[in-house]
Amino acid sequence: MSSMSQTQQRTPSSHLGDVDLNDPQSLEFYTELVMFKRDDSREILVFPAGISPEHRRSIHILAHHMGLEHQSIGEADSRQITVLKRQQPSPTANIQNVPANSLDVHKRGLSRAATFDFAAD
């Protein structure tokens, strides 16, 4: 029961690594990242230099939790964050390249793994 109360006491931002979305600047970064992720015409987002180290950290955390690639480039006051969308192959491209019989082998392998007793040593 105590673990349940601990879970209920967590703040919504705890899964974002303590990013405070009540902070107007953090919320602005979050909004910009969401709009970037949804915009299929954009592949890269560069945040300007001069963002405080705390806010850069927030951007990295937010980008990570959104499944975006992120990196800092530059030194000291000229440091910038570059955010990229992860390249995901289309699901149909992978299916077309897989021989039909390999799917059956894969299913059998899963069946064996599900019935194998790993504790039998």
At 65-112, the pLDDT tens digits run 999 999 999 998 899 999 999 876 555 555 555 555 555 544 554 544
Q: What integer pLDDT is reported at residue 89 of this predicted model?
A: 59
Structural tokens at position 38: 């949804």
CA atoms within 13 A on the CB side of 110: 6
pLDDT in tens, 7-56: 334 444 446 668 999 999 999 999 999 999 999 999 999 999 999 999 99
CATH of the domain spanning 13-88:
3.30.1370.50
Q: What integer pLDDT is reported at residue 18 of this predicted model?
A: 81
Question: Which sequence spans correspond to the domains of the chain?
Answer: 13-88
Exposed, middle or buried: residue 62 (CB in 10 Å: 0-12, 13-18, 19+)?
A: buried
